[in-house]
A and B are shown apart, each in its own frame.
Chain A
Amino acid sequence: MEFSFTDEQQMIRDTAEGFLAEVSTSEAVRAGMATELGYDPQLWQRVCSEMFWQAIHIPEEYGGMGLGYVELVAMLEQMGRHLFCSPFYSTVCLGVNALLIAGSETQKSEYLPRIVEGKTATLAYTGAKGRWDAAGVELACTETGSGYALNGICRYVPDGHSADLLVVAARAPGSEGEEGISLFILPADADGVSRVWLPTMDQTRKQAEIRFDQVQVALEQRLGGAGDAWPQLATIIDLATVAIASDQVGGAQQALDSTVEYLKERVQFGRTIASYQAVKHKCADMMLKVEAARSGLYYAACIADEALSESPLGAELPEAASLAKAYCSDAYFFNAGCGIQLHGGVGFTEEYDIQLYFKRAKSTETFLGDGTYHRERIARLVLDGEAAA
């Protein structure tokens, strides 16, 4: 049984951990999150040129490293642990995945090398109603003869205000649900696109609203089929869901570790508060949550690999993504919430980092659907015998 990291995967994880411990310190996170951009552009350039992380799972023929989703997940886990402020998630886990799943050979050859060179990207599919399923696609696309015109609003778009490339989902007039959905790729500075940064409670993950006013896109900017791109978008969303769950596992781990570290130093009634059983048991529950979350995540990572290589096991992706997201969301929130409580008064201060994890736990929980949403998807599979929508 080889359900553990290979030596190479372990090395990738350790390298990421080492680099992030150096560059994503508490001070660096706080500096990055205080800006509208949300990250240090010089650091991002360094990541792209020295670490080459943006290319991790881009196939070699497009200039990438050609590694798999397990390696990506291992890296994301460390980014979540260190609250790494960067456009990595939006570019790699949304933009690259969208191109890999829905892009034609020509489109992949055109856009993936640009991302390898350091261009950023994101996916905009959710409208103002804030739904994460097919009904969440509200942007309208109307055929113009030479292509399409996009009109409407996308909201809650990760790094939507700063990304260089946008992949957007839009629907044909009058369509609903999974019908009529198409995907497009366009430069963020296209005519008619206006982008508004949305200040967020969790400042480590930036969001934007993007407005489309008669935005003209050509036929060759359409990724995948005309009006029948939902299955591809669903896969892109599931892959993105596995990726955000990785961030959550890393964050849940750090919430536990930083809390235990504090408990071992804080003295009350003449002994460290780590020696109190009420406190120890809460920490044991936190460890159970994060280890179980990690077990579920690694399963989802393996399935994501299978899905990207189009092997039969990849059919489990919707279940695997929901399983991981439901459990990891709740585990992160539990650990970060317990973390604040166990820190006592200082847990409520701005100074200690546990509050940053608490906020990120909630923002990642909400993003792409919370535990309740994903359990309902699982319920449809096991109770109604339906394929997850």
Chain B
Amino acid sequence: MKLSFSAADEHFREEIAGWLRDNLCGEFEAIRGRGGPGDEHMYVEERKAWETRLAEGGWTCIGWPEAYGGRGASVEQQVIFNEEYARAGGPGRMGHIGETLTGPTLIAFGTDEQKKRYLPGILAGKELWCQGYSEPSAGSDLANVKTKAHFDEASRQWKISGQKVWTSLAHESEYCFVIARTDPGSVGHKGLGFFLVAVEQPGVEVRPIQQMTGTSEFNEVFFDEAVCSADDIVGAPGDGWKVAMGLLGFERGVSTLGQQMLFQNELNEVIRVARENGAHSDPAIRQRIADAHIGLRIMRFNSMRMLSGGGDDGSLQKEAMIYKLYWSSWHRNLGKLAMDVLGPESEILDGGPYELNRLQSMYLFTRADTIYGGTNQIQRNIIAERALGMPREPRG
């Protein structure tokens, strides 16, 4: 059992850190640390340009196999990349959905045609993707999608109608991947298809959702006879659930240490404020800040256990199953701690009508953390059922 990365991995770390030092400057100085959660709507054009710069340096899609233009980077190297990226203040990635979700899905399930058509745009940082999963009646119950797709023999096209929701960056994306019902009489995870749909077309309308933060990172996307070609279904009609679930499996924790670097920056800011305004001498606040520090350190070691692979029986990794519930709960507590450290000043905005400062924005956004990507309640069901072998919830 060791705490350290290998010498080769540390060499890789120096390489990416050096590249970021040399490139994340000049015209890109302004976007350092911007565009993260709660800030995704900012500096969109500059961040698109940054995607291109990353691609020129060969730093997009590093985990993809070399045959598809990636570096075939190991899990450790991807973790290091994300950690150094966050450390350097790398801006929120515009291309992350294509890179981490669409690409791996096409590599695993796509046809050669689909790979040729879509992978280069993602690799070059020029074509952005968004995710069409959730619907008003398909939140935690993701399989309950109502959006329909039927194949129009006359035009040889799929026609898609329905509504998606919580689609981040939809208005900036070229493409959306959509799960829709191909078998009209089907229910649940059967009878679904996985489609690659252009956003810029008459049948697609993107409407921003006004959030409690006063900003609109998320959108509703309406499909009204939106079209994609016969070649733009991944897998066969009816295989959509399998493809979609395979895609969720691609998130192997490579972003965890990068995410934790952002959390560390936020905690450092809370500590800075506490030392400045004297809250650090309050015994209760001291306990809570220490608790946050401990919680974040443990999050890191938990990730390292995840990345080292193998549970006790070599298959089920319990430390991986707790990760979402753990980090979302930790982050939500940090949000509240930040406001309590700020005291009365926590209510005062940077400006009108509703300009939140960084900690206020973080505080409000953490209320989403425990909901998206599987609510804390769903996470607890999963842990109880899959890790502890307790009976499954009845399903309608």
By a beta-carbon cutoff of 8 Å, the part of chain A in contact with chain B is 1-6, 9, 70, 256, 260, 263-264, 271-272, 274-275, 277, 279-281, 283-285, 287-288, 291-296, 298-299, 301-303, 313, 323, 326-327, 372, 375-379, 382-384
Contacts and interface: CB of A to CB of B under 8 A. Distances in A.
Interface stretch (B40-48, B209-217, B306-314): B306-314
Interface in B79-124: 79
B290 interface: yes
19 contacts: A1-B79, A2-B1, A5-B1, A260-B388, A260-B390, A264-B389, A275-B390, A275-B391, A277-B381, A283-B384, A287-B322, A287-B383, A294-B319, A303-B3, A377-B290, A379-B287, A382-B271, A383-B271, A383-B275
Contacts of A378: 290, 293-294
Given A1-B308, A274-B391, A288 B383 contact: yes
B284 to A, nearest CB: 10
Given A280-B390, A288-B326, A296-B301, A327 B384 contact: no
Interface in B262-281: 271, 274-275, 280
Interface in B23-42: none
Nearest to A285: B380
B287 A3 contact: no
A142 to B, nearest CB: 37
A376 B281 CA distance: 11
B384 to A, nearest CB: 4
A279 B381 CA distance: 10
B228 interface: no
B387 to A, nearest CB: 6
Given A2-B308, A376-B286, A382-B290, A284 B325 contact: yes
A281 B275 contact: no
A375 B301 contact: no
A293 to B, nearest CB: 8
Most buried by A among B310, B377, B390: B390
Contacts of B3: 3, 299, 302-303, 313
B385 interface: yes
B5 interface: yes
Nearest to B3: A302
B344 to A, nearest CB: 21
Contacts of A295: 298, 301-302, 304-305, 319
Contacts of A292: 298-299, 302, 322, 326
A284 B385 CA distance: 9
Classify the secondary structure of A's interface with B: helix
Given A264-B390, A292-B322, A296-B297, A284 B308 contact: no
A288 B390 contact: no
B168 interface: no
Interface of B: 1-3, 5, 75-76, 79, 271, 274-275, 280, 283, 286-287, 289-291, 293-295, 297-299, 301-302, 304-305, 307-310, 318-319, 321-322, 325-326, 377, 379-381, 383-385, 387-391, 393
Nearest to B281: A383
Given A291-B319, A292-B322, A295-B302, A283 B390 contact: yes
B286 A70 contact: no
A277 B309 CA distance: 30
Question: Which 7 A-B residue pairs are closest in the complex by CB-CB distance?
Answer: A280-B384, A284-B380, A375-B290, A284-B383, A295-B302, A275-B391, A378-B290
B371 to A, nearest CB: 16
A292 to B, nearest CB: 5
A281 B271 contact: no
A3 B5 CA distance: 9
Contact of B388 (A284, A294, A301, A383): A284
A295 B325 CA distance: 15
A193 to B, nearest CB: 39
Nearest to A303: B3
Contacts of A291: 302, 318-319, 322
Contacts of B319: 291, 294-295
B252 to A, nearest CB: 12
Contacts of B304: 1, 3, 295
Contacts of A288: 322, 325-326, 383
Contacts of B326: 288, 292
A279 B290 CA distance: 30
Most buried by B among A293, A295, A372: A295
Given A277-B393, A299-B297, 4 more contacts: A256-B388, A284-B380, A293-B298, A383-B286
A280 B298 CA distance: 24
Given A298-B301, A376-B286, A382-B271, A9 B384 contact: no
Contacts of A260: 388-390
A49 to B, nearest CB: 28
Contacts of A383: 271, 274-275, 280, 286, 289-290
Given A277-B381, A375-B286, A379-B290, A302 B322 contact: no
A298 B3 CA distance: 9
B14 to A, nearest CB: 18
Contacts of B287: 372, 375-376, 379
B294 A323 contact: yes
Nearest to B75: A1
Contact of B301 (A3, A70, A283): A3
B384 A3 contact: no
A4 B310 contact: yes
B358 to A, nearest CB: 20
A368 B286 CA distance: 20
B305 A4 contact: yes
